[in-house]
Amino acid sequence: SVVLEVKEVKKVYGVQNGENSTVALDSVSFNVEKGEFIGIMGPSGSGKTTLLNILSGIGKPSYGEVFIGGKNITSLDKNEMALFRRQHLGFVFQEFNLMDSLTLKENVMLPMILDKRDKAQMEAKSEEIMKLLGIEEIAGKYPYNISGGQQQRVAVSRALVNDPDIIFADEPTGNLDSKSSNAVMKCIEKMNQERESTILMVTHDAFAASFCKKIIFIKDGAISMEIVSSGVRKEF
Ligand code: ADP
Ligand code: ADP
């Protein structure tokens, strides 16, 4: 089934300035099916951040529409969007954005705490996902006591704990060494394979991109190419 529909999305910055305006996205359209694992790549300034912001409801398109699970998110107001993001979307960023005053398990529970869920249910779901990602043994530790790779796996757990319709990842390996990148990408891949999580990831990193099943290339605000993976990985 189709999870995300992007219809003729166009973004123009600085319209008020007239001649100084920038067309960051020009009529971008594509669909994403449930369970897809898509990478978005392209040179700096090509519009990747703008696209991710619009798809995740942080930014509004100048023209066009975005549907998630059949709902037109471009028509939501600020409060409706905040709620929709919490209930339907998951986010992983380059910075891990964990709260130092909370344990790792509490960090993972955070999205559910905001939704005032049952405590026993929150604990069970958090423990389940941390176990799946191999970090259950450090659940009681604090973010400043663990490695960057472990922090990012906590962030991935937090993004997934509510079973979001889509996970948006923006350079998730940007601050990691190659060993940690591998561990984090394997976790994201596992979520995609075992829970059919739908993932949209912006990355400059060819290693991270190699995990995607499909890569969309953006150039000058438009899709220039799409590559579908053969699924064959040969590791050395
Ligand atoms: P990336 O790491 O994806 O290349 P950028 O450095 O292009 O990110 O942009 C970082 C942030 O600055 C983004 O949120 C983007 O919207 C904003 N930004 C980029 N270019 C401009 C600009 N010319 N004027 C104002 N904000 C900008
Ligand atoms: P990328 O993430 O691929 O580096 P961006 O989406 O950040 O690309 O930027 C696409 C284009 O839009 C660039 O020309 C950038 O300078 C411009 N841009 C991005 N954000 C803003 C903004 N807030 N105001 C004005 N121009 C922006």
pTM: 0.87
Q: Is the CB of 153 under 6 A from ligand 1?
A: no
Contacts of 94 (CB under 8 A, 6+ apart): 170, 171, 172, 174, 175
Nearest to 206 by CA among 37, 41, 43: 41
- Which of 22, 94, 202, 217 is the best mutation target for the ligand 2 pocket, counting ligand atoms within 8 Å of the beta carbon and taking the most? 22
Report residue 44: phi and psi, to 5°. Answer: -60, 135
- The DSSP line for 90-134 is EEE-SS----TTS-HHHHHHHHHHHTT--HHHHHHHHHHHHHHTT
What does the pLDDT read at residue 85?
Answer: 92
What pLDDT was estimated at residue 116? 78
- % of residues, the chain, pLDDT over 70: 100
Low pLDDT (below 70) residues in the chain: 18
Q: Cα of 18 to ligand 1 centre, how many Å? A: 20
Helix (H) or strand (E) holding 180, with range, is helix 178-195
63 contacts: CB under 8 Å, gap ≥ 6: 8, 9, 10
DSSP E strands in the chain: the ranges are 2-13, 22-33, 37-41, 63-68, 71-72, 89-92, 166-170, 199-202, 214-219, 222-228
| Predicted pLDDT at 90 | 93
pLDDT for 18 equals 66
Tell me how far the alpha carbon of residue 201 lies from the centroid of ligand 1, in angstroms. 17
State the Cα torsion 32-134-99-180 to the nearest 10°.
-80
Q: Checking DSSP bridges between strand 166-170 and strand 199-202, what pairing results, if any?
A: parallel
Give me 14's structure tokens. Answer: 């600085």
Distance of CA 24 from the midpoint of ligand 2 (Å): 6
